[in-house]
Amino acid sequence: MTTATRTPKGIRVERLNAGYGRQQVLRDITLEFAPGQVTALIGPSGSGKSTLIRCLNRLHEILPGAWVRGKVLLDGMDVYAPGVDPALVRRRIGMVFQRPNPFPTMSIFDNVAAGLKLVGGYDRRRLAEIVEQSLRRAALWDEVKDRLHQPGTALSGGQQQRLCIARALAVGPEVLLMDEPASALDPASTLRIEALMRELCREVTIVVVTHNMQQAARVSDYTGLLLPGPDRVAELVEFGPTSQIFTTPRDRRTEDYITGRLG
Amino acid sequence: MEGYRRRRLVDRLMTGLTFLATALAVLFLISVLGYVVVQGLPGLNLDLFTSTPRPVGEPGGGMATAMVGSLYLVFLACLFGLPLGILTGVFLSEYGGRWLAPLARFVIDVLTGLPSIIVGLFVYAVVVRPLETFSALAGGLALGILMIPTVARTTEEMLRLVPLDLREAALALGIRQWRTIVSVVIPTALSGIVTGSILAIARVGGETAPLLFTAFGNRDWNFDPLQPTAALTLQIFTYAISPYEEWHRQAWAGALVLMVAILGLNIATRLAARGHWRPW
């Protein structure tokens, strides 16, 4: 528990249904996120991609009226089994959001240390080690090592997003969820984040939501396509190795979607 | 173009009327301030701040006990009203629930308009009568109750301004909700919460009615929470309705001090809120 580095773990999703109140968003999603790989989830806006990954770390349930049925098995353990503490699930499955969201009242250092500090039990030297290590892993260390005590919000958008990645990594997750992590960034920052994903997937399983198909093709090993059905409830249309999805899709709708005729 | 001249005339008339109304309103307020300054200045001297009240007929004396008493009462009120108000605001914004929060919000909004003398009567009935003594505690309690609605609602509003993003970022790190609120949400909204708290203090600092039969007033120093305590507003009231010239003079001077203090608090509020909005 004390080391910031863990081995990547897989997640298996079985017959997952989710929604808000009477509105169902996802229907019968079954797929597997392979350990140490980058899996991209693509689909049009409103196809439940974000809802799906928010079900993986039990963040979906914090919204009013949210419900989930089905199984999410992290390395074989059902995160929805009774008695499972969502806070502990979230320490094993980290998350990076669409808009960079460093804590505005905290310095760069404190942002990265937040996940450890606010839980307690780490001495200052150990914290400093983990912060440096996490910033290095997020390819941000060289840019911020001389100003660790400046506010995190003083960084550029791309740097802020890497700060958020470092913050997530510091807790030592086995899976990292990324919800359109580059959609609010400029092209250069986007490429840095993508390169980072290829680096990081050796240590942490990555699930990335994107509406950018080129990005999915560039960074992912596996791709899943979600599309809303006639009743607007999203289903997993096709899932497979990225090269196969983009070159020889089996489902007609996949071909229509990636060639731009759908969605 | 029929009626063009009439419409233009009405337009100009109404523009003029709103300007006139504003000028009149500001004039009244400035007159009040000016009158207090003019009447209060002659009585303003060091004795006012350092001496205790003297019996009728003896010259001199001041309002030191009353000023300290007011501070003491406000301190007791904060001890009670701030934690309750802030925690209520946190509940309304962060926890809530389906029906409890709207209900609580409604009750709190009604309480905001509650005449302060009724709060005084209530505290008289549930604290003063059972303890069989007027007390600083009762006065502080009455003021504290009056603070709760303002503090709770401003805290709620300020916490609501904190983006959901930040709460989710903290929760996604495996930080528990209470820790998230204390270490991420509240610090982000802190200047707003401080502003609301100072406003609430400024509001109750000038209250007289709820103190009449709770703190009651005292000619001597008192720091025992279970004894009656002097308060600036109470002494102004007592002196103002007395028939003695000297006391009238002191009442005006006390009023000036009170006014400047409350004005100071309001300015402090603006300073605390700086960065969010600039009033000047």
Q: Which residue of A87, A97, A103 is in closest CB contact with B174?
A: A87
User: Which segments in chain A show pLDDT lower than 50?
Assistant: 1-4
The three-class DSSP label of residue B158 is: helix
The DSSP secondary-structure symbol of B57 reads T
The pLDDT assigned to A118 comes to 85
Longest dimension (CA), chain B: 78
Check if A65 contacts B (Cβ < 8 Å): no
State the complex-level ipTM: 0.92
The residues, ordered by sequence, that sit 6+ positions from A231 with a Cβ below 8 Å of its Cβ are: none
Q: How far B202 CA lies from chain A's nearest CA (Å)?
A: 28
Please report which confidence band the pLDDT of residue B255 belongs to, taking 50, 70 and 90 as the band edges: very high
The DSSP secondary-structure symbol of A165 reads H
Check if A119 contacts B (Cβ < 8 Å): yes
The three-class DSSP label of residue B183 is: helix
Q: Are the C-beta atoms of residues A41 and A226 closer than 8 Å to each other?
A: yes
Question: Is B172–A114 a contact, with Cβ atoms under 8 angstroms apart?
Answer: no
Residue B180: both structure tokens together: 């998230």
Q: Are the C-beta atoms of residues A70 and A29 closer than 8 Å to each other?
A: yes
Please report which confidence band the pLDDT of residue B105 belongs to, taking 50, 70 and 90 as the band edges: very high
The pLDDT assigned to B1 comes to 66
Q: Which residue of A88, A95, A103 is in closest CB contact with B166?
A: A103
The three-class DSSP label of residue A211 is: coil
From CA B170, how far away is CA B172, in angstroms rounded?
Answer: 5
Q: Which of B175, B237, B184 is nearest to B206 (CA)?
A: B237
Question: Is B184–A103 a contact, with Cβ atoms under 8 angstroms apart?
Answer: yes
Mean pLDDT of B61-66: 91
Does residue B173 register a pLDDT over 60?
Answer: yes
- The rounded mean pLDDT for chain B is 91
The pLDDT assigned to A261 comes to 66
Q: Distance of CA B218 to CAs A183, A232, B54, B97, B259, Å?
A: 67, 73, 12, 46, 22
Task: Please give the residue of chain B at the shortest CA–CA distance from A117.
Answer: B175
Residue A181: both structure tokens together: 């992590």
Q: How far A245 CA lies from chain B's nearest CA (Å)?
A: 31
- Report phi then psi at B162, rounded to 5: -75, 125
Q: How far A189 CA lies from chain B's nearest CA (Å)?
A: 21
Question: Is B166–A97 a contact, with Cβ atoms under 8 angstroms apart?
Answer: no
Q: Which residue of B166, B175, B188 is in closest CB contact with A115?
A: B175
Q: Which of A60, A79, A62, A87 is nearest to A10 (CA)?
A: A79
The three-class DSSP label of residue A106 is: coil
Q: What residues in A contact B161, CB-CB < 8 Å? A: none
The pLDDT assigned to A23 comes to 94
Task: Please give the residue of chain A at the shortest CA–CA distance from B187.
Answer: A105
Does residue B276 register a pLDDT over 60?
Answer: no
Residue located via tokens 């608090």: B265
Residue B164: both structure tokens together: 């959901």
What is the DSSP secondary-structure string of B9-28? HHHHHHHHHHHHHHHHHHHH
Q: What residues in A contact B167, CB-CB < 8 Å? A: 62
Q: What angle do CA B12, B14, B16 make, to 5 degrees?
A: 70
Q: Are the C-beta atoms of residues B253 and B48 closer than 8 Å to each other?
A: yes
Q: How far A171 CA lies from chain B's nearest CA (Å)?
A: 7
Q: Distance of CA B106 to CAs B91, B101, B109, B110, B153, Å?
A: 14, 8, 5, 6, 11
Residue pLDDT, tens place only, B107-121: 999 999 899 999 999
Q: Distance of CA A18 to CAs A24, A58, A234, Å?
A: 6, 11, 10
